[in-house]
Amino acid sequence: MSSYKAGILRLSLCLLLVLLCFVLLRFAFWSYNGNIFPETGFLRLCVLSLSGLRFDISAILYANLPLLLWALCPFDTLRALVPKLLLQCCFVLFNGLLIAIGIADIIYFPYTMKRMTWDSTDMMGDAWNLLPSFLREFWYLIVIQAFVFVILILASKQLHTKTQEIGPARQVDNVFSQLLLFISCLALTIVGLRGGLQMKPLKPIDAMGMASLGEVALLTNSPFCVMHSMKSEALPDMQFMELEEAGMVRPYLKDYSRSELKNKGHNVIVIVIESLSSSYIGQAGKYAPFLDSLASKSIFFPEAYANAKKSIEGIPAIFSGIPAMMPAPFISSKYSLTPVAGLPAYLGEVGYQSAFFHGAENGSMHFDAYALSAGFERYFGRDEYGIGDFDGSWGVWDHKFLEFASARIAAFEEPFFMGLFTLNPHHPYRIPEQFPGQIDSDAEAFESSLRYVDKSLQSFFETISKEAFYKKTLFVITGDHTAPPFGQERVTRTGMYQIPILFYHPSIDLAELHASSAEMVQQVDILPTVLDFLGYSKNFHSLGSSIWEKQRPEISFQFLNGLYQAVTPSHIMLFDGAKSASCYNHQRDPYLTRQISGPECRKLRTELESFITLYRNGLLVNRW
């Protein structure tokens, strides 16, 4: 066998080994996250794995493109110029990284409910602080990765082949045979890179047509999704209707100058609790007794909806009314420099001072930069707090940082607008020693961490309740996104977004002011609700609605795994932004197994198309 054929064969065998690792990763992913895929059995997973080979092969070939170009080069002298050690290092590093991404996403997936994408690199700044706890808890994954590297190193030793000397009589035949092999292998490589012979190259969204909605994550793989999300793409042209028509379907120009609520000059503190799901609030003090007691005195929406699945998406939804309706988070997208006003900017126009408090490292998920762009005048992070009280993972212990925040807030002149974002409950769910809690599982660790945050908030409220500003302050408390599922807890498409939202005022009975009968709210409703409460007299654009609007629609909007969705109390519409749309009655069919049609579904699609049109217009021309 010629060295050319031998080189191609040996690289092919090495890539087959990597492909086997991808298949095994898919089974490990399914096994670890079994409660998220309750309807997918072993045989069904085998079928999905066969279909998923297209995604696997494409990702592997893209990552190994330099090695493929080396192996396919028909000139022996050029191939011989590449050092053996360089080939081995490239093979081990390229494929070791692919498999590491796949392993990491096994444990990361429950937090985002989507395959890892390039925007996950926004977490890299916090990754070093989390590394010690990660090594302690998931040491076995490190062992597996080390074993993978050993296998790859052994396999890489087979890549390099020596050039064979052949006589002149065979050189012509050798050229023709190598040319034929080159053309054949090049054609197969192109097909593999494209993911098949279809008209357009394979994309993550193509998985939607190859499996049920709940099985898409099992069909694709994390390296493939990361590669295809590296380029920050522009929003697709989805002008489903004229702007005026979209505004008629969903009025987005707000005018609260005639509002009956005239609480001008009242302070506002918005508290965002990390990973707070609806299922943990309103449970008679089982998980968060202080928040439950506060909810009983508030306008409380126990099953409100987040417009995001990650913190980096949830914060802009809450403070700027920007839902997460594209693959990349707004903060790290090409639209991050769009001058989109937020609550602090609107209130700054009428004399409010403002500050954002977050105990993480400054620069964590670019929250400090976002806060300033949204109109916050000051940002307080770990740098401003000073040395000490580090929780070993994310930043300053919540009870210490909330104590720091209460002192800083008291120093501001009224009126003011404040944003506070807790670090807990967040993996690895650590709590200080003085806050005891039994921890035998991730679920119990989360619950202990939530109780710790609840106790910290109670102390915070006890402290500021002694201040003069307290009785003239509106408090808004919500979660940035839901908590990951634990144990055998089954996940629904609607449940993965359900968070609590409550509005509390120490001296005003807000329940008496709540005239709307609609009980479904979403994060982007917070901005117009606060401005409505304060009697904000200027016009502004918002994709949300105040809870005090008489004709407020009961609907929420999200985007996940390439699908836009609109949810009402009974129905859900999933839309790919082009032609494919599916409608379900999620009350009767929570796992979305039976598509339906009818007037409600047609109305829901119109609502969703108008929302997408307004959202796209808002980002492109800063008109919310």
Which H, E and C letters describe 75-102, residue by residue? CHHHHHCCCHHHHHHHHHHHHHHHHHHH
The yes-or-no verdict on residue 592 having pLDDT over 70 is yes
Render pLDDT for 519-543 as a digit per residue (tens, 0 to 9).
Answer: 899 999 999 999 999 999 899 989 9
Name the residue with higher pLDDT: 124 or 425: 425
Report d(CA 89, CA 9) in Å as an integer: 19
pLDDT of residue 582: 93
Is it the case that residue 324 has pLDDT exceeding 60?
yes
**355: β partners:** 378, 418
Residue 175 confidence (pLDDT) = 67
Average pLDDT of the chain to the nearest whole number: 87
Q: How far apart are CA 314 and CA 323, in angstroms?
A: 8
pLDDT at 379: 95
Please tell me whether the peptide bond between 590 and the residue prior to it is cis, using omega within 30 degrees of 0: no
Is pLDDT above 90 for 558? yes
pLDDT value at residue 553: 87
Report residue 304: phi and psi, to 5°.
-75, 175
Average pLDDT over residues 470-494: 89
DSSP-based three-state secondary structure for 177:
helix
Q: Please give the torsion angle defined by the CA atoms of residues 210, 213, 217 and 223, in that order, rounded to the nearest 10 degrees.
A: 60
Assigned token pair, 483: 């908590």
Confidence of residue 369 (pLDDT cuts 50, 70, 90): confident
Q: How far apart are the first and last CA of the chain?
A: 67
437-479: pLDDT as tens digits: 656 567 788 889 999 999 999 999 999 999 999 999 999 999 9
pLDDT of residue 169: 47
Q: Looking at this protein, which amino acid is placed at residue 105? A: D
Sheet holding 353-358, edge to edge: 299-305, 498-504, 473-479, 267-273, 416-421, 353-358, 378-380
The percentage of residues in the chain with a pLDDT greater than 90, rounded to a whole number, is 52
Strands 571-575 and 563-567: antiparallel
- Statement: residue 307 has pLDDT above 60: yes
Segment 98-109 shows an average pLDDT of 92
Q: Nearest-CA neighbor of 223 among 378, 98, 44?
A: 98
Please give the residue that has the higher pLDDT: either 292 or 71.
292
Q: Is the peptide bond before 251 cis (omega within 30 degrees of 0)?
A: no
Please state the rounded mean pLDDT for residues 182-203: 89
Does position 208 have pLDDT exceeding 80, yes or no? no
Residue with tokens 């709540």: 514
Confidence of residue 174 (pLDDT cuts 50, 70, 90): low
- Could you list the beta-strand ranges (E) of 174-298: 253-254, 267-273
Q: Which of these ranges, 141-155, 171-185, 321-335, 454-468, has the smallest mean pLDDT? A: 171-185
